[in-house]
Amino acid sequence: MLDENLPTFYLKPVKDSHLSTVYLLQYGNEPDPAYSLRYPDPLSPDSKNRFAAALYDPYIPDVVYGEVLIIPEWTQPTLSAEAIRQNGGVAPSPEPILPTRFTIQLYNPDQQVIVHYKPKTWNSPPSWSFEMPQHSFREPTGSTLDRVQIDPAVADTTPKLRFIWRKDSKLSKDLTCLLRGKTTAIPETKTKSKEPDITVSIFKSLRELTLYEPNLYRVEMEDFKGLEVVLLLGAITIRDIYFASPKEAFRISRQNSASVSPTSNSPTTTPPANRLPASPGGLVTDIPSAPQPPPVRSPLLTKQQEQARMEEERQTKRLLEEEEKVRRRRQAEVDKETRRLQKLYGEEERKARTQTPSLPPRQPAQQIPNPALRPYSQYNHGRPPMPHGGSRPYLQLPGQMSTMSLLTPPVAGPQAAAKPLQNKRSSFFGLRRVSEEGKLTKKRSSMF
């Protein structure tokens, strides 16, 4: 389930019974019956060699919303003696052909929606496209002339919206229905960019049909109920016809396939099983009765399919080779540019190393106590301070230290007795320092 807040219909596959209920879930609520899905009774002879499905009201069985009926065309088997001999002395049975389109019939108002099927190719997945009118209902009017006019749903002047079902990928069975625009849109030009497709519905795993409700507000049409029925019936038909066995979809049996005329769209009777249909020359051949084997495809059709498969493989191989050539060419250009840059910047780096002299390693400066910051009692040796206004030779401003204080070490007091004398001393803030020879030298800044 994509999102419990989106309306999601659960379509259960019908195998043994011809009745099923379609449930609707939204906002995390309990599932409620939304439609009743009906197929023809499998015991009825009218249900053979055709597909039919209809959506009814789940509580009122007489109310039908829409239905689909498909009567397939059949392959023309060969009547050559060689084909009959390879098939065990019996003419190959005709097989149903997948329809290229089917019609969804809506009621109240009556409307027919034709779904066109486009088979997959070597570079595109299969798709099913259809159109629906923007206006489906008559406007209220008191004019008698307006009442006799044609319904907007079937009028050619009514603008229609284009929809398409597509597979998400070749290996996935998920389908997505997209809104592709209007029939009245002017063909795109180079100056006007095409608007992106709008996701309307997602058919996940051929069981859950989710309506993407946030995008439905961008669908400009009146009959949203009709769109919902078309999406449901279209998804059910696509699942049963194009993703299942034709024998199960059209309810074909061995007896029924032998009694279908190859050129007819409806079931008809043929001569008894021990007689072949008339050949183009008008001859009828009697053959002994024998159990009919499973259908065998026509050799011509198999050869055409094999040629189509080989052509598809050749095209795929050619595309892969072209992509490999493009990749190798781009890689060669990248390698060439990389070597050029390495050569260019490598030469510059070697030149810079040869021109720049190597500097000796920098020795960390030792912390030498500043004599100007020593206590006053240390220099006076316990004598009382001088009177106010007297000279204070040991309290100079920072950076104005006397030569005597730098060359003559002070007498060790009670606090300095425990500390060893240091050979190197620096000036206040580390602006100057004394070397081992006793000369003043400038100290390099640690910030600038």
Predicted confidence (pLDDT) per residue in 397-426, tens digit: 444 444 444 444 554 444 444 444 455 555
The predicted model gives 103-107 an average pLDDT of: 95
pLDDT tier, 86 (very low <50, low <70, confident <90, very high otherwise): confident
Q: Where are the beta strands (DSSP E) in 168-312?
A: 175-182, 198-204, 208-211
Given a cut of 60, whether residue 60 has pLDDT beyond it is: yes
* Comparison of pLDDT for 44 and 416, the residue scoring more: 44
For residues 100 and 117, the answer to whether their CB atoms sit within 8 Å is yes
Domain coordinates in residue numbering, the chain: 8-138+151-185+193-279, 297-327
Do residues 181 and 254 make contact, with C-beta atoms less than 8 angstroms apart?
no
Token pair 């027919």 in the structure block, residue: 112
What 3-state class would DSSP assign to 448?
coil
pLDDT of residue 362: 59
Q: What is the DSSP letter of 92?
A: P
Asked whether 153 and 222 are in contact (CB, 8 A), the reply is no
User: What is the predicted pLDDT for the residue at 234?
Assistant: 96
The residue-averaged pLDDT of 48-57 equals 93
Residues 77 and 91: beta-carbon distance below 8 Å: yes
Higher pLDDT, 310 or 390: 310
Of 14-18, 77-81, 415-419, which range is least confident?
A: 415-419
Residue type, 126: P
Average pLDDT, the chain: 74
As a three-state string, the secondary structure of 347-385 is HHHHHHHHHCCCCCCCCCCCCCCCHHHCCHHHHHCCCCC
For tokens 């007489």, name the residue.
62
Position 7 confidence tier, pLDDT thresholds 50, 70, 90: very high
Sign of torsion, CA 278 279 283 289?
negative
Q: For residue 23, what pLDDT is reported?
A: 94
Instruction: Return the percentage of the chain with pLDDT > 70, whole number.
Output: 65
3-state SS string for 47-69? HCCCEEEEEECCCCCCCEEEEEE
pLDDT band at 279 (very low <50, low <70, confident <90, very high): very low
Return the amino acid letter for 202: I
Residue 12 has pLDDT above 50, yes or no: yes
Question: Which residues have a Cβ under 8 Å from the Cβ of 376 and sit 6 or more positions away?
Answer: 385, 394, 395
- 290 pLDDT higher than 50: no
Could you report the per-residue pLDDT of 160-199, keeping only the tens digit for each?
999 999 988 777 889 999 999 888 876 655 545 577 899 9
